[in-house]
Amino acid sequence: ELEVALKVVIVGNGGVGKSSMIQRYCKGIFTKDYKKTIGVDFLERQIEVDGEEVRLMLWDTAGQEEFDAITKAYYRGAQACVLAFSTTDRDSFEAAHSWKLKVENECGEIPTVIVQNKIDLVDQTVVNPEEAELLARALGCRLLRTSVKEDINVASVFRHLAARCLAE
Ligand code: GDP
Ligand code: MG
């Protein structure tokens, strides 16, 4: 039987929860002070979508995003993208547009989900819901709100991307 393998890149400013999201989804764990370098290029998880086995390879950065130094190798062959910002970090929200352009430059148009992470920190919100919706609409992407900490909506992000890729 044919197995579909998808390379997924996770972009966004440092500190928004990208590495945590990968750990949560692939290993089922959440740690507060998670090491920046995981020492491997990606973690993977296999899921079933519409009766098809899909192997998702979630590529992590080793913190290069903070220096705007993500390599071409990171993006090479990516078929889907998670573009994340944090509920508590205004800069990360403002940067979303330029992250979208960067991915487009390297990968062309690939299925992308905008993720607003850390929704458990509602009392520290610096991005209102309407702004987030407007951003997603402007970028032509689906918006999903997640808490990696509380494990809210994380699986939906990847299910949605896998389904989008299979439909193409
Ligand atoms: P990255 O730089 O984008 O890879 O972000 P990290 O995964 O290293 O996460 C940065 C910090 O945010 C860590 O202390 C995480 O524990 C924390 N964090 C990640 N996701 C969440 C979340 O959903 N809620 C809360 N409260 N903290 C989170
Ligand atoms: Mg990281």
- How distant, in Å, are the alpha carbons of 15, 114, 150 from that of 121? 14, 18, 10
- Indicate the burial class of 159 (C-beta count within 10 angstroms; 0-12, 13-18, 19 or more): middle
Cα–ligand 2 centroid distance for 31 (angstroms)? 12
pTM: 0.95
Task: Select from 164, 87, 92, 100 the least CA-distant residue to 137.
Answer: 100
Read off the amino acid at residue 35: K
- The ipTM estimated for the assembled molecules is 0.99
Q: Check if the beta carbon of residue 115 is closer than 8 Å to that of residue 82.
A: yes
pLDDT tens across 84-137, in order? 999 999 999 999 999 999 999 999 999 999 999 999 999 999 999 999 999 999
The gap from C-alpha 99 to its chain's centroid, in whole angstroms, comes to: 11
For residue 117, the surrounding DSSP H or E stretch is strand 112-117
Task: Select from 32, 142, 18 the least CA-distant residue to 92.
Answer: 18
Read off the amino acid at residue 24: R
What are the structure tokens assigned to 81, written together?
């993208």
61 lines ligand 1 (CB under 6 A): no
Residue identified by tokens 């929860």 is 17
Residue 166 or residue 34, greater confidence: 166
Cα–ligand 1 centroid distance for 141 (angstroms)? 23
pLDDT band with cut points at 50, 70 and 90 for residue 61: confident
- How distant, in Å, are the alpha carbons of 48, 70, 138 from that of 148? 21, 23, 25
Cα–ligand 1 centroid distance for 16 (angstroms)? 6
